[in-house]
Structure 1
Amino acid sequence: MKILNVVGARPNFMKVAPLHRAFLAQPDIQSKIIHTGQHYDRQLSDIFIRQLDLPQPDYFLNALPGSPAQQMVDIRQKFDAVLCIEQPDWVLVVGDVTSTLACARVAAQRGVWVAHVEAGLRSGDCRMPEEFNRIETDRIADVLFVTEQAGLDNLRNEGIAPEKVFFVGNVLIDSLVRYRQKAAELNTLAWLGVCPQQYVLLTMHRPTNVDTETGLEKLLQLVQAIAQHKPVLFPIHPRTRASLTQFDLMGRLSSTPGVRLLEPQGYLEFLNLMEHAAIVITDSGGVQEETTYLNVPCLTFRNSTERPVTVDLGTNHLVADLDPETALKKILDVLEGRAKTGRIPPLWDGQTASRIAQIMTSLDVKRQSIQPVLT
């Protein structure tokens, strides 16, 4: 059985790495990695590949920069050529980026079976391109692997056949469990001159938060307020940096006392910083899950989350519309010892990839019981 695993953006590496290892541990599975290059930074991609003990991708599609619609066309054309060469049994896609949907569509049109990891997640916010990608990929997929109960509920409500759906846990946590100790050995905190629980870690990259001057002004106000209480470490996403430069706000941010601007971090460095932060402030989906597992307080600047278990069971709080006053109140509650205590969600145990590999092996034997979905 040949499986092509699709990587489109850096967070996909953390999800595909444990899957690729689990597939290779099965004697009857041939596993290959396809990097579309949707979000590509050579230095950071190389860091993630090296730190996650991955081989170089078998194919790099070098997707052209552009709008999601333009990238969709380019990725589909290039991935179609790969399918013609490889003739795989399965295409496995993770998450909700443009590459996820693009490659799922091509595979379905070619009659190749599609597995979607992180299926069923819904934010309810149709303005997010990721929400469309999630819904459409789940409609295409032959097998859907789910991380939390809300995913099962969503797929059932959308009429997805229950025999196609498997509750397996979270592959992102597989990587965290495997590399937590290795991240600790880097001693990133000492290198940056900070102490555990004595700093705030900030990430921000979603268009609704960073693409307008109004959103960035709110972010700047909040950062300046937090820095009066704790140092702020801020690895700046390329999109955020470009917007700060465009609106001439980088100087104000960099000159704020107590604020440390960092380049985007490698996986291990960021994991180490996240584990020892007093609180993490973010708009990232994956960070919500990682902080929940680590029992680190998290404040997410989103109106909704596609990962409600991080709020219901975990350490995550939502703050709508990047409101500095509301956010600061919640942050001070945490810094003053009034953070909520979370629990690790079911099956977030570091064994998800092995469960997926076992299921896919068994399904390959019983393929006649599930009909491929063509679009």
Structure 2
Amino acid sequence: MKNHKILTVLGARPQFIKAAAVSRALLRTDLEEIIVHTGQHFDEKMSEVFFREMDIPMPAHRLEIHSLTHGAMTGRMIEGIENILFSEKPSAVMVFGDTNSTLAGALAAVKQHVPVIHVEAGLRSFNMRMPEEVNRVLTDRVSSLLFCPTDAAVQNLKNEGFEHFPIKIVRTGDVMYDAALYYFQKAKHHSTILQKLRLEPGKFALATLHRQENTDNPERLKGIVEGLNQLHKQKPVVVPLHPRTRKTLENQNLTVDFHIIEPVGYFDMLMLLHNCSIVLTDSGGLQKEAFFFKKPCITLREETEWVELVEGGYNTLAGWQPQHILHAFEKSMSNQPDFSKNLYGQGDASEKIASAIQEFLLKD
């Protein structure tokens, strides 16, 4: 008989990966997990494949909310999650990262006086124009249990006065590192992406592009595409592309010389990461995954929440201008940082999280 029920709210690819690691750890506790899928990522390759590949418990509730403005999406998610809270009556709600699903889950819970658990708390880009920054700041503020992946994340919360709030802050390490260690062993036996794309290990660059600050800004998008086109002349560039971004490229009549492929599952992405020579991305999670696989990374933004990667020389902030992207590529390929440093824990973050949640709930 499970003692407490945890309602886990998920909606986007990175959250599925993080939840997979934590869900495995929760199975070894007295806690019952109920998963809510908001539908924020609704494409089959962006969503369902992760549940199948990674053995994540299938969602008990699906809200199917997507393709709306930030306000409309978040509002409808809050309404849907609130109804689930009334029926499930969980002891706590767990949210991951910094998406609209994250904020909606946190707000729905705190309004009903249900404790909020935030995995990947304390991260800051200090750019409040980013929807993700707004989501993570607000989610942290209404949470009762904050799990921080890095020392910098803990320090951010201290700088903002969180030590004076009635909450608990725990430095756990990064659950994405847990996932990468565990699932890479499976990926080696299941993924055929290299053979399918006829890619030679170490001979290609891996790039992703999905942030609205880039895809919804014609000047930035054009600059990034031009930079990737020029880089492709030196080294093949492979880009698994979100359907929305692909449509935007078509609508703007942008010429693409690099290799666009369909979105890939987690196993295929791990194999692409392991075998590429460099990563270019505007994703937060992929910056870390590049580090896990000892690959230099170029971030197609002006700032990052993963400051330790920039400070350590693993990650170069390039922004969107073609000349900056090419300069960052030349710098990254000639630089050899020390990848032996332990920035994200020992691969046991999920176990620490599960243990801390159980202790938190059982004391009440």
The answer on 1:178 being equivalent to 2:177 is: no
Contact 2:204-2:238 within 8 A present in 1 as well: yes
Deviation at 1:94, TM superposition (A): 0.4
TM-score, structure 2 length as denominator? Answer: 0.94
Structure 1 match to 2:63 = 61
Give the Cα separation in 1 of the matches to 2:360 and 2:151. Answer: 22
Structure 2 match to 1:165 = 169
TM-score, structure 1 length as denominator? Answer: 0.92
Describe how 1:132-171 pairs up with structure 2 within 5 A: 132-161=134-163, 164-171=168-175
The answer on 1:218 being equivalent to 2:223 is: yes
Structure 2 match to 1:356 = 353
Amino acid at match of 1:209: N
Contact 1:4-1:33 within 8 A present in 2 as well: yes
Give the Cα separation in 2 of the matches to 1:115 and 1:149. Answer: 19
* Structure 1: gaps of 5 or more residues: 368-375
The answer on 1:16 being equivalent to 2:13 is: no
Give the Cα separation in 2 of the matches to 1:346 and 1:206. Answer: 25
Give the Cα separation in 2 of the matches to 1:91 and 1:46. Answer: 22
Aligned match of 1:104 in 98, 103, 106?
106
Deviation at 1:138, TM superposition (A): 0.6
Deviation at 1:339, TM superposition (A): 3.8
The answer on 1:307 being equivalent to 2:306 is: yes
- SS of the aligned residue for 1:119 comes to coil
Deviation at 1:151, TM superposition (A): 0.7
| Residues 335-355 of structure 1, C-alpha deviations (whole Å, 9 max, x = no match) | 4x4343334434532211111
Contact 1:2-1:31 within 8 A present in 2 as well: yes
Amino acid at match of 2:317: L
Deviation at 1:285, TM superposition (A): 0.1
Contact 1:333-1:339 within 8 A present in 2 as well: no
Aligned match of 2:127 in 125, 128, 151?
125
Contact 1:293-1:343 within 8 A present in 2 as well: no
Deviation at 1:318, TM superposition (A): 0.9
Give the Cα separation in 1 of the matches to 2:178 and 2:230. Answer: 36
Deviation at 1:360, TM superposition (A): 1.1
Describe how 1:54-93 pairs up with structure 2 within 5 A: 54-93=56-95
- SS of the aligned residue for 1:38 comes to coil
Deviation at 1:300, TM superposition (A): 0.2
Give the Cα separation in 2 of the matches to 1:347 and 1:201. Answer: 22
Describe how 1:320-331 pairs up with structure 2 within 5 A: 320=319, 322-331=320-329
**What do you get for the CA RMSD once the two structures are aligned?**
1.6
Give the Cα separation in 1 of the matches to 2:225 and 2:122. Answer: 34
Contact 1:49-1:56 within 8 A present in 2 as well: yes
Give the Cα separation in 1 of the matches to 2:171 and 2:59. Answer: 28
Deviation at 1:64, TM superposition (A): 4.7
Describe how 1:156-305 pairs up with structure 2 within 5 A: 156-161=158-163, 164-185=168-189, 186-249=191-254, 252-253=255-256, 256=257, 259-305=258-304
| Residues 144-169 of structure 1, C-alpha deviations (whole Å, 9 max, x = no match) | 00001111111011111376100001
Between the two proteins, what is the percent identity of the paired residues?
A: 36
Aligned length: 358
Give the Cα separation in 1 of the matches to 2:84 and 2:221. Answer: 41
- SS of the aligned residue for 2:47 comes to helix
Give the Cα separation in 2 of the matches to 1:276 and 1:345. Answer: 21
Contact 1:280-1:298 within 8 A present in 2 as well: yes
- SS of the aligned residue for 1:161 comes to helix
